[in-house]
Amino acid sequence: ARCRRRVCSAEAPAPSVAESHVQPFYQPYLTTCAGGRLCSTYRTLYKVSYRLVTKPAARPAASCCPGWSRASGAALGCSRAVCWVPCRNGGSCVFPNRCSCPPGWTGAACETDVDECARRGHGCGQLCANTAGSYRCSCRAGFSLAADGRTCGRAAPQPDPSSEMKEEMKGLKARVEALEQKLQAVLAPFHNLMPSAPDDVGTDPVSRLSHSLQQLDRIDSLSEQISFLEERLETCKCPGKG
């Protein structure tokens, strides 16, 4: 037997076979001719004879070698490998009973998951979690995963709400103090002209100035309230802090 393009066929020697044929022969005999005379003549007879004839044997149909099959019925060669156990998880049969497995799988039929985290070359900066056919990197508390999906960096600190509130209150207090200074500078020349306890605001300039002085007292009160809120904020324990 020989194998060409993974196609196997057996070549037998050409046999000799007996072939029959009809062979004529002539048989003499005597017969009566005209005038009552005897005449000698012959007649043709036929008999079956046999002879040895060498004929080429019928060529057997080509079959695929073990472990190979045709990709299609019209294909001349046998190019498709046969795996008795089908390849799994995206594997492909590349040789008889041999699967080529995609990354993340191994085994005769690609049935075993590769634990990438057990190898040193997984590339994760801190934590490695094995998954089916792959793996995933993660980071410890206080770190965040970078864009490459492997390395870890310090997590950006979260903004402190109390600090933002302090800054806003500080700015508000500065504005109140500035407004207070401006009013005091305007009212300084008329301070001696103010009534001791004005009840209503009139239309004369003195009444108006008296009302403005009352507003100044309110600004002072607002400033004191801001200070009080600052003191309470200092003693406040925000969530997440000891």
Q: CATH number of the domain at 151, please.
A: 2.10.25.10
Q: Which two tokens stand for residue 94?
A: 């590349």
Phi and psi at residue 20, in whole multiples of 5°?
Answer: -90, 150
Judge whether 55 lies within some domain: no
Asked if residue 34 belongs to a domain, the reply is no
Q: Look at residue 183 and tell me if it is in a domain.
A: no
Range of the domain at 125: 115-155
Tell me whether residue 10 is in a domain: no
- Banded pLDDT at 2 (limits 50, 70, 90): very low
- Residue 148 included in any domain: yes
Residue 146 lies in a domain: yes
Asked whether residue 140 is domain-assigned, the answer is: yes
Ranked by mean pLDDT, the top range of 2-11, 31-40, 136-145, 193-202 is: 136-145
Count of structural domains, the chain = 1
Q: What is the pLDDT of residue 105?
A: 95
> How distant is the alpha carbon of residue 156 from its chain centre?
30
| Structure confidence by residue, pLDDT tens digits, 40-95 | 887 887 787 777 777 665 555 678 888 888 887 666 778 889 999 999 999 999 99
Residue 15: inside a domain = no
Q: How far is CA 11 from CA 1, 53, 66, in A?
A: 7, 19, 18
